[in-house]
Structure 1
Amino acid sequence: MTVSTQIQLVRRPVGTPTPEDFATVTVDLPALDDGEVRVRNEYVSVDPYMRGRMNDSRSYVAPFGLNETMTGGAVGRVTESASATLPVGTAVLHGYGWRDVAQGPAAQFSPLPETDLPLSVFLGAAGMTGLTAYAGLKRVAGLKEGDVVFISGAAGAVGSIAGQVARKLGASRVIGSAGSAEKVALLKEKYGYDDAFNYKDAPVRRQLRDLTPDGIDVYFDNVGGDHLEAAIDRLNTGGRAALCGAISQYNDTERAPGPDNLGNLVTRSLNLEGFIVGRHQDLQAEFAERMTGWLADGSIVFDETVVDGIGNAVGAFLDMMNGANTGKMLVRA
Structure 2
Amino acid sequence: MTPTTTRQWVLAKKSSGWPIIDGPESIFRLVEKSLPQLDDKKEEVLLKVLYLSNDPAQRLWINSGINARRLYTTPVEVGEIMRSYSSIAEVVQSKCAKLQVGSLVSCSTGWCEYAVVPGAECMPIEATGDISPTHFSGVFGIAGVTAYYGLVDTVHAGPNDAVVISGAAGAVGSAAVQIAKNVLGCKKVIGIAGTDEKCRWVETLGADVCLNYKRETFWDDLLSATEPFVEVFFDNTGGEVLDYMLTRMEKNGRVAACGAISEYNTKKGSRPGIKNWYDVIAMRLTVKGLVVLDLTPARWGEIVHALLQGYHEGKIQANEAGQTIVPASFEDIPKIWMKLFDGQATGKLLTKLVHG
Normalising to structure 2: TM-score of the pair? 0.88
Shift of 1:322: 2.2
- Give 1:91's aligned amino acid: L
| Distance in structure 2 (CA, Å) of the matches to 1:218 and 1:185 | 22
- Give 2:306's aligned amino acid: R
Q: Does 1:193 align with 2:199?
A: no
Give the corresponding residue for 2:352. 332
Q: Is the 8 A contact 2:48 2:89 kept in 1?
A: yes
- Give 1:5's aligned amino acid: R
| Distance in structure 2 (CA, Å) of the matches to 1:100 and 1:295 | 31
- Give 2:241's aligned amino acid: H
Q: Which runs of 5+ in 2 are unaligned?
A: none
- Give 1:113's aligned amino acid: E
- Deviations 1:139-179 (CA, angstroms, capped at 9, x unpaired): 21121212110000100000011001001112011001111
Give the corresponding residue for 1:252. 266
Q: Is the 8 A contact 2:36 2:116 kept in 1?
A: no
Give the corresponding residue for 1:171. 186
| Distance in structure 2 (CA, Å) of the matches to 1:31 and 1:143 | 48
- Deviations 1:231-275 (CA, angstroms, capped at 9, x unpaired): 111101111110000100111113323221111112111111111
Q: Is the 8 A contact 2:234 2:256 kept in 1?
A: yes
Q: 1:254 to 1:65 in 2, by over 3 A?
A: closer
Give the corresponding residue for 1:294. 310
**Percent of pairs identical after alignment?**
34
Shift of 1:203: 6.6
Q: Does 1:263 align with 2:275?
A: no
Give the corresponding residue for 1:49. 57
| Distance in structure 1 (CA, Å) of the matches to 2:50 and 2:74 | 25
Q: Is the 8 A contact 1:157 1:329 kept in 2?
A: yes
Give the corresponding residue for 1:161. 175
Q: Secondary structure at the match of 1:206?
A: helix
| Distance in structure 1 (CA, Å) of the matches to 2:13 and 2:260 | 23
Q: Secondary structure at the match of 1:242?
A: strand
- Give 1:11's aligned amino acid: K
- Give 2:138's aligned amino acid: G
**Residue-pair matches, total:** 332
Give the corresponding residue for 2:333. 313
Q: Is the 8 A contact 1:205 1:226 kept in 2?
A: no
Q: Which runs of 5+ in 1 are unaligned?
A: none
Q: Is the 8 A contact 1:204 1:227 kept in 2?
A: no
Shift of 1:24: 2.2
Match of 1:2 among 1, 4, 15: 4
Q: Secondary structure at the match of 2:205?
A: coil
| Distance in structure 2 (CA, Å) of the matches to 1:21 and 1:158 | 26
Normalising to structure 1: TM-score of the pair? 0.94
Give the corresponding residue for 1:72. 84
Q: Is the 8 A contact 1:43 1:75 kept in 2?
A: yes
Q: Does 1:283 align with 2:299?
A: yes
Q: Does 1:100 align with 2:100?
A: no
Aligned Cα RMSD in Å?
Answer: 1.7
Give the corresponding residue for 2:28. 22
| Distance in structure 2 (CA, Å) of the matches to 1:183 and 1:28 | 43
Shift of 1:222: 0.3
Shift of 1:76: 1.3
- Deviations 1:61-93 (CA, angstroms, capped at 9, x unpaired): 111121221122211111112333322122212
Shift of 1:103: 1.2
| Distance in structure 2 (CA, Å) of the matches to 1:11 and 1:247 | 21
